[in-house]
Each structure stands twice: as structure tokens, then as C-alpha cells.
Structure 1
């Protein structure tokens, strides 16, 4: 480049200084130390009260693995499971590299395109002397400098949107980890309970068989006991399969290759004494939801992109630079000057480009309105599910389970007084099976609904794919 700039005559020194200055300004666009991840860390702490790390080196990955080992050393709580997923899920780590892509595009937008150097060399013998024609030109895309502020502004907003989407990825994974955790925990608690049911059914079936052999029990009653045992064994097998599937899903969310590395508590957490009252939940969601903020940034970026499209409607390439030409003998000297090149809007006046940008912008506006309406509905639905599941679980805890226990205690007193037999006692135990399993399921559903409400206040997980697709379609305008 230095040799090319030396083509300029001294009288064009000011142009050289201006050109070098422009290149110096363009070179100021650099990468940040954290790749924009600091904002993701801060928002995650504020919204989820969790730590999140982006492992971009082997040393950072080793540090995360050490933390994962510490979490796996003890039975996992729900918070531990979420934190483990944020540290160890490879899909989340892959999503963080969207920040690197976005920052690279932002830095690229702040840099001028490389200068173009062109050269023509031709010669032929003429009257015993070889005649030459040599043309050399070094040109710069001056129009890119004019549109650079608009392009940088577009990329800044897109990068901010990428940061918002990264936080939504974190929140989505946290919600998945919470749901998988409570599902696995409830499934294993059901397995432990159904094993006890099967043992009791097996004992009743064996007792009925022996009593039938000595003629103290009818074939019908014996068959009923056998059928109950068969159902208990079948229900246990299904429950064990569900527990394995739930544990495998939890292992996938946590990023663990072996499901047996997970240690879970013996039972679900107790139902809280009171429920959270959330007045103004709809407005709070509209103000705080990250997906709505990301859509707002996307719409603003598209508006800026529309302005850039209008700016480049007629001319999108304007190159200016020094040139020199030699014609004649090799030692005849160069003619020095400059070259200007630009696109002539003869066939394409840019109307289609502007029309496309306007349609994309209006499409984003309509989708933003739809998302705001859906957000209000989603948070209302999530809050209603949270309240309803709490009421149902509390009803089982305070009414159904105690009533069945009192019935069981009364029957035990009757059995001790020899007023009822052992099979009457077993029949009473069967009626409790459904209520206990239902309580486990409703308690699980409550904790999952609580997590869903927290997610509804943060953002909609499924938005990520469509938002990223929009980014890919709109792209950065050419300049």
C-alpha cells in the first residue's frame, strides 16, 4: 500500500493525509475483552440469581468442569441442577458464540473496505521501438465511509439483540433444567412408593393362595388378589421406565454423559406455606420480558436498515483514488491524475431494495404487536396455572391425604380388634394408592408451574429461532 501511495504527487499531499486519517479512524473498530458477555452475566444474575460462564479456552473449560464436579458431589437441589446446566450444557456454550459472530459483524461494519489496486500493461513494437501503455490506479470506496455511521448503528442494535437472545437462551435452559429436575424427582419418588405397593400386593396374593389351598378363601377372592398384584407389578414397571426416561432427559439438559452421575433427594420439596401474590403481573411482563426487548431492538435495527437502504438506493459504490498512466516508450514518464468510479442507476433504480426493506420493517412491527399481545396472555396463563396447581396440591395435602390416613387408622383399630380381616385392611390400602400418587404428581406440577411463571416473566423460549432467522434474512446492508 505504501508503494502505491507513493504514486501521489507532492501537490496532493493533503489528499494523502486525509486518506490515511480515514483509514486510521476505520481501524479504531476493535473487539471487546469479554465479547459482550458481561451484559449476559449481569442480566443472568439479576433475573435468575445464577452464575453463567462462557468457556472460550481449555483453561476456562477446566474451571467449569471443576465446579460441575463440586455440584455433583452432593444430592442436587433444584437450584444446583439449574446452575449445573448453565455451567455444563454444550448447546448453551454453542449459543454464546452467536455473540462472537455479532461482534465480528459490528467490528467489520466499522472498518472501511480494503482499497482496490488495478493495473493495465500492454506493449507492441513500433518502428523498432517497443511502445508501452501502462495504467495504474489505487481507489478507495468513499461511499462506504459516508454510510458507515448508519451501518455501525444497525450492527450495534443487532449485537444488543444477540445479547438479549443469549440471556433468553440461559433462561430457557434454566426452565428446562427445573422442569426436568422435578419430573425426575417425582418419577423416582413414585417408583419407591409403587415398590412398597407391589410388596404389599405380593404378600396379599401369597396369603390368598395359601388360604385358598386350605379351603378358607374362595377362588374369586384369590383371583382378585392375584389381579391386584399383577396390576401393581405392571404399574411399577411403567413407573421405572418413566423414571429412567426422566433421568435421561435430566442428564441431557445438564450435559452429563451418564445419568447415574446424578444424585437426587429422596422426595420432592414440601409445598410452601403461602403463595406469591403478583399484582400487575401483565404490565411487569411487558416491561421486563427479554423477548419483547429483543423484538424492540430488532425493529429499531430494521428502521435504521431502511434508512441505509434509502441512502444507497441510487449509488452504493463510489470509489476515488490516485492513478498514473504511461503511454509510449518505457522511459517517457507517467501521466498522473485520479480515477473515479461509481455505479450508474440505469436498469435498477433501487426501488426493489427499498420496497423489500419497508416490507421487512412493517412485518417486524406487526410481529412486535402480536408478541406483546401473546406475552400478556402467556403470563396470565402461567400465573393461573401456578395458583391452580398450588390450590390442588394444598387440597391433597390438607384434605385428601389426612382423610385417607384417618380412615386407615380406623381400619387398623378395627383389625386389631378383630372386627375386620387382613384382606379388608389391604383393600383399604389400595384406595390410598391413587391419592398418594396424585399428590406426588400435583406437587411436581406445582413446582414446574412455578418455574413456568418465572420463565413467562422473562421471555418466551421458542422466540429464539424466529428472531435469529429474521437477523439472518435482514442482514447488514451492502456498502
Structure 2
């Protein structure tokens, strides 16, 4: 009887811890508020995790007025952040990470065994209740690890939102530029067609030789091909934008502005661009969390290198032919006879040092990314401004001067058309340069706050951390 009463105390203690562990529950928003704040701080846009029909209806009511008018780049980003299906799928990682966190805060269920053995006229009955004590002891460490992984999932979700925003801005500017190019090339085709027809008629009456007629006809043929290619590019860029916006059916008939936004008066002069990137980039922040999580995992591995399984149980035997009852308890643990856990510790240490060096590489890459993005941003601005202030006005001035000479009958119509062809090249170059500037502007914002495609995947780091448990 005294033995039975003594064994009840640790079991009662384990049962109380078991009860408290079972109280671990899910948060109301699944940790999405952190994703919202991280995204809002960096791009000033709201994100939403669609979990119900009411959420979907709310998103539909938000984007419908935006689609009823020509889209601005901010409107396009807003729609993508709310309606992009791939982004909504990425948010599911939050739910998985939170489920793992809650699971880490709950002790494994106790196990009960029952046995009945008949030996002639004797019947032996064994009953045991086993409690996983080791899980109780390591629960605080496991919960800390899963907490950090949950934080990593929040950073990844915010990073995915920033990536979608960057891709949407890129697709938006490319689609508007392609549309503008098509409209301009349609005007050029009309002029080239008129020139080719005029050359044909003049050659027919003997006022123009066949060589000059062939040149005008060749220009018209080239313009026709360029227009067809521009139309193909327009369809491809618009469809890319449509996919990012998550639109289908009638919603794909959204309108875009006729031309790209004007070039700003001056480029941004960003001081300490590398310092800002180190402080604000999500991939750098994620790397810090991963290192911390791996360090904790390493400590847990060292703690449990000898005792891997520790179960405490209550035993009760009863023989139906015997008036006595036998009570007691059992402890089951692994004996480190062959495996002393050194391999597990060595693996954890190797994973940690691997993560340290990868994080250092990520920081170097991030600094290089932001320097390169800023250099591209400044050069793109200079090129676009040069087209705007020098090349296009100069080509137009030449054409205007040639028009005066044509009106004075000093030059022929085909000399005037040749200058018009040169102006076509400069205008198309100006459209492309302005598009490249706005794309470079978006890439610079991404390099300062988000993560680049050259950065090491954080999911691989999370997998490495998971393998140390």
C-alpha cells in the first residue's frame, strides 16, 4: 500500500502537466496580424487571408470598383495582394506552422495496455499506464523551437506578399509599355502604308525608280512585322498581369492607362542604402531567427543525447486464483550502450555552422543586391531622362526642319519619310527606357525590404532546422 501511494505522486504531477499542456490552443488570426504589419510597413498596402465566403465577398467588393476604371500601379498591387491565389496558398504555411507550435505545447497521449493470459486454470491479467515523461521535460525546448519556426513562417508569408507586389509592378509597367508601343506602331504602320502606296503610284508613272520603291515597300513590311510582334508582346504581358491579379472571365477586360507615368523630376538619393537593407530586409531577419532556432535545437540535442525515451508507468497485476494483488511502477529508458549520441550532436553542430556561413553569404549577397539595384535605378533614370530631354526632342526637331524644307520643295517626300523612320526608333526607345526605369524603381524597393531571387531559400534553412529535432 505505501508503494502504491508513493507512485501516485509523480503520476498525479504528470497528469496535471498533461492537463495544462492540453490547454495549448490556436490564435484567433493564425499569426496573420504580424504579416499584415510587416507588409504595411514596407509597401503601405493591406493584405488579407481569405478563409471564408465572407472574406471572399469582402475582397470582391473591394476590387470591383478598382476594375471599373483604368488601373493605376497601386490599384494593381492592391488587387494582387488581395486576390492572388498563389499568395493565398502560401499563407497556408502559417496554419501548418501554428499547428506544429500548438502540437509542441501538448504532451503525447498516455498509453494503456491490457493483457490476459490463461495458464491452465489460472488467469493472469496485466494492466499498465505509461506516461511519456521525456516529452514533458523537453516540451519547453520544443515549444521555443516551434515558436521560432512560426515566426519564420510569418516572415516568409510577408516576403511572399512583397514578391507578388514586386512582380505585379513589373508586369504592370511592362503591360502598359507594350500597349503604348502597339498604339504607336499602329500609327507608324498607317504612315508607312501611305508611303508605300505613294511610291508604287510614282513608280507606275515613271517618277520613281524600282529601287526606291522597294525601299519604301520594305519599310512598310518591316513595320507590319514589328506591329505583329508588339501585339504578341502586349498579349503576353497583359496575361502575365492578369494571372498575378488572379482575374478570370469578364474581369480580364480591365483597362490600363494609355501611357506610362511620367519620369520624376529627380531620382531618389538614398543614403546608407546597405544599412537600410540590413535593417529592413525580411530574408536577413529570417536568417537571424533560423540561427537562433538552430542554436536552440543544438542545445536540445545535447540534452537528450543519452536519454532518448523515458516513460513512467503504473502497473497492476491480478491473478484470479490468488487473493493478493501486486502493484508497482516501471521506468523504461534507452541504455547508451552502442550509441552515445555523438553523431546526433555532430550533425546538429554541422547544420548550425552551415547555417552561419549561409547567413553570412546571404548578408553579402543582400548588400551586393541593393548596390546593384540602386546603380541600375540611377542609370535607368539617366537613360530615360536622356531620351526625354535629348534624343526624342532632337529627332522631332530634325523632322520639323525637314518638313519646312519639304514645304519649300527643297527635298522630296521620301527624304521626309526617312527622317520619320528614324523618329520611330527614338520613340520606341523612349518607351522602353521609361518602362525600364519604373521596373528598376520597383526592384530597388524590393532589394531594400524584401528578398531577391538570388538569396538562399529560407525554406531550405527551415528544413535544416527541422532535421535537428
Question: Could you tell me the TM-score, scaled by structure 2's length?
Answer: 0.96
Q: For 2:196 and 2:31, how far apart are their aligned partners in 1?
A: 66
User: 2:83 aligned with 1:88, yes or no?
Assistant: yes
Cα offset for 1:12? 5.3
Mean CA deviation greater in 21-30 or 291-300: 21-30
Q: Which residue of 1 aligns with 2:299?
A: 307
**Matches of 1:137 and 1:201, distance apart in 2:** 94
Q: Residues 321 and 456 (structure 1 numbering): CA distance in 2 closer, same or farther, change over 3 Å? A: same
For 1:378 and 1:465, how far apart are their aligned partners in 2? 13
Distance 1:465 1:92 in 2: 20
Distance 1:290 1:266, change over 3 A: same
Say whether the 8 Å CA contact 1:151–1:476 is kept in structure 2. Answer: no
Q: Name the structure 2 match of 1:116.
A: 111
CA spacing shift, 1:167–1:402, aligned 2, 3 Å? same
Give 3-state SS (helix, strand or coil) of 2:323's partner.
coil
Question: Aligned match of 1:363 in 354, 357, 366?
Answer: 354
What is the aligned partner in structure 1 of residue 315 from structure 2?
323
- Counterpart-to-counterpart distance in 2, 1:13 and 1:131: 29
Q: Answer whether contact 2:365 2:454 (CA < 8 A) is retained.
A: no
> Hey, what does 1:219 align to over in structure 2?
210
Which of the residues 46, 52, 56 maps onto 2:41?
A: 46
| Structure 1 residues 57 and 463: CA distance shift in structure 2, 3 A | farther
Q: Secondary structure at the match of 1:454?
A: helix
Instruction: Please state how far the C-alpha of 1:333 moved relative to its aligned partner.
Output: 4.5
**Secondary structure of the residue that 1:166 maps to in structure 2?**
helix
Aligned match of 2:255: 263
Could you give the per-residue CA deviations for residues 98-145 of structure 1, whole angstroms, max 9, x where no partner exists?
Answer: 0100011111111111101122210122xxxx2122111111111111
SS in 2 for 1:277: coil
* Match for residue 230 of structure 1 among 204, 214, 221: 221
What residue is the counterpart of 1:273 in the other structure? Answer: 265
**1: CA distance between counterparts of 2:86 and 2:149?**
21
1:298 to 290, 294, 308: 290
CA contact (8 A) 1:191 1:239 kept: yes
Q: CA deviation at 1:464?
A: 8.0
Unaligned runs of 5+ in 2: none
C-alpha distance in 2, partners of 1:261/1:464?
36
Q: Any idea what SS the aligned residue of 1:119 has?
A: strand
Structure 1 residue 66, shift from structure 2 partner:
2.3
**Offset of residue 459 of structure 1:** 2.6
Tell whether the 8 Å contact from 2:80 to 2:246 is kept in structure 1 after alignment.
yes
- 433, 449, 461: which is aligned to 1:458? 449
Equivalents in 2 of 1:464, 1:338: separation in Å?
55
Per mean C-alpha deviation after superposition, the further-off stretch among 235-244 and 334-343 is 334-343
Partner Cα separation in structure 1 for residue 434 and residue 222 of structure 2? 24
Q: How does 1:344-363 map to 2 (within 5 A)?
A: 344-363=335-354
- In the alignment, the residues of structure 2 paired with residue 191 and residue 423 of structure 1 have an alpha-carbon distance, to the nearest angstrom, of 24
1:398 corresponds to which residue?
A: 389
Q: Distance in 2 between matches of 1:247 and 1:204?
A: 32
Structure 2 CA distance for partners of 1:216 and 1:371, relative to 1, 3 Å: same
Partners in 2 of 1:52 and 1:274 — Cα distance? Answer: 31
Q: Which runs of 5+ in 1 are unaligned?
A: 1-7
TM-score normalised by structure 1 residue count: 0.94
1:385-424 maps to which residues of 2 (within 5 A)?
385-424=376-415
Q: How many pairs align? A: 466
Quick check: 2:351–2:464 contact (8 Å CA) kept in 1?
no
Partner SS for 1:270: coil
Task: Flag the 1:106–1:477 CA change in 2: closer, same or farther, 3 A.
Answer: farther
- Counterparts of 1:224 and 1:336, CA distance in 2: 108
Using the TM superposition, name which of 177-186 and 457-466 deviates more: 457-466
- The equivalences for 1:431-470 within 5 A come to 431-462=422-453, 466-470=457-461
CA distance in 2, matches of 1:11, 1:284: 61
User: Which residue pairs with 2:281 in the alignment?
Assistant: 289
CA RMSD of aligned residues (A): 1.7
